Amino acid sequence: GLTSRRGGDRLIAEGHVAVNGVVVRSPATLADPDTDAITVHGRPLPASEPAQYLLLNKPRGYVTTLSDPQGRPVVADLVRAGARLYPVGRLDADVEGALLLTNDGPLTHRLLHPRYALPRVYEAHVQGRVPRADLDRWRRGVLLEDGPAKPAAVEIVESGARASRLRLTFAEGRKHEVKRYCEALGHRVLRLSRIAFGPVVLGALQPGAWRRLTAREVTALRAAVAAPGAPRQ
């Protein structure tokens, strides 16, 4: 509850954290908060807050941060949960949809780690007609400037003369990946929404609204990123 994961790394590297009276400078240092005396700036680490897990339907125009030096609206303005929660990954300001927020740092790290290839499902309104005959081309993948990109699934929801709507599933969180993928295939994205993050589905949640995850959803998230052979809680 003191800072973000990156901020915590910085506090450690700068020598502001001590374990049992010994200053540590490596974020890889192991410590047990139940048995070890951990201090930050000479003060005991506060007791951990109960873990909270929220789903927000992020509206367009909001930045996925807790504060913004440019004064833009941030997702923290929309959530009043009584605890400092952090977004799980990012959505561009002009992208809307499913965004998880939590204070469970270890789970956040796993959810974003490429090792677990957690699927993200998007609905993309793109310019121009995408005929069903083109589906094989959309499923084949393309080469972007930062390497190959290939969706786990693609389907056409609507195909019109001026615009089409597609549902694409990607298992990576690369920057602007969906937009760049569509543009590489000749269709500029007009509107983009994430409708599912792993097993958590946006459903009928309205833009700007949020809800707490159910116990079943939290269990499903943990199971989706459980290490092979590890017990699923």
Q: Please tell me the predicted confidence (pLDDT) of residue 233.
A: 46
Which one, of 159, 149, 150, 99, lies nearest residue 124 by Cα?
Answer: 159
Question: Considering only CA atoms, which of 177, 174, 167 is closest in space to residue 202?
Answer: 167
Contact 121, 195 (CB under 8 A): yes
Tens of pLDDT, residue by residue over 126-174, are 999 999 999 999 999 999 999 999 999 999 999 999 999 999 999 988 8
The predicted structure's pLDDT at residue 231: 42
Label residue 219 by pLDDT band (50, 70, 90). very high
Mean pLDDT of 91-117: 94
Q: Is 104 a catalytic residue?
A: no
Helix (H) or strand (E) holding 17: strand 17-19
User: Catalytic: which of 68, 77, 92, 134?
Assistant: 92
> How confident is the model over 170-192, as a mean pLDDT?
95
Tokens at residue 172, please? 């990576």
In 3-38, which positions are buried (b, 16+ CB within 10 angstroms) versus exposed (e)?
Answer: eeeeebeebbeeebbbbeeeebeeeeeeeeeeeeee
pLDDT of residue 6: 83
- Tokens 């192991």: give the residue: 30
Q: What is the pLDDT of residue 229?
A: 46
